[in-house]
A and B are shown apart, each in its own frame.
Chain A
Amino acid sequence: MSLKFNRSDIFILIASIILVISFVIGSNYLTGLTNKGDLKVDINISGRIAYTYSLNEDRIITLKKDDHPSLLGDMEIEIRDNKVRVSKEQSPLNYCSKQGFVDKVARPIICLPNEVIVIIRGEISFDWVMPS
Chain B
Amino acid sequence: MNKTNKLIKLAILLSFAIVLSYFESLIPLPIPFPGIRFGLANSIGLIILYMGSKKDYLLFNIFKVFIMAILRNGFGTAFLIGLSGMILSVSFTLLIYKMNKASIFGLSFVGAIFHSLGQMIMVSIIYNNIYLVNYLPILITFSIITGFLTAFIAVLVINRVPDRLLRIDS
Contact = CB atoms under 8 A, between A and B. Distances in A.
A129 B125 contact: yes
Contacts of A129: 125, 128
Interface string B120-146: 000001101111011011001000100
Contacts of A64: none
B106 A17 contact: no
B102 A9 contact: yes
Given A13-B106, A16-B114, A21-B137, A132 B128 contact: yes
Nearest to B109: A13
B154 to A, nearest CB: 8
A62 interface: no
B126 A4 contact: no
Contacts of A126: 128-130
Q: How large is the interface on B (under 10, 10 to 19, 20 to 34, 35 or more residues)?
A: 20 to 34
A1 B134 contact: no
B170 interface: no
Contact of B130 (A5, A6, A31, A130): A31
Nearest to A9: B106
B103 A1 contact: yes
B96 A20 contact: no
Interface residues of A, number: 29
A107 interface: yes
B17 interface: no
Contacts of B97: 1
B90 interface: no
Interface string A5-26: 1101100110011001101100
B134 A28 contact: yes
Given A6-B103, A8-B102, A12-B96, A20 B131 contact: no
Interface of A: 1-6, 8-9, 12-13, 16-17, 20-21, 23-24, 27-28, 30-31, 106-108, 119, 126-127, 129-130, 132
21 contacts: A1-B49, A1-B107, A2-B103, A2-B104, A3-B103, A6-B102, A6-B103, A9-B106, A16-B110, A16-B114, A17-B140, A21-B136, A21-B137, A23-B136, A24-B133, A27-B130, A106-B130, A106-B131, A107-B131, A126-B128, A129-B128
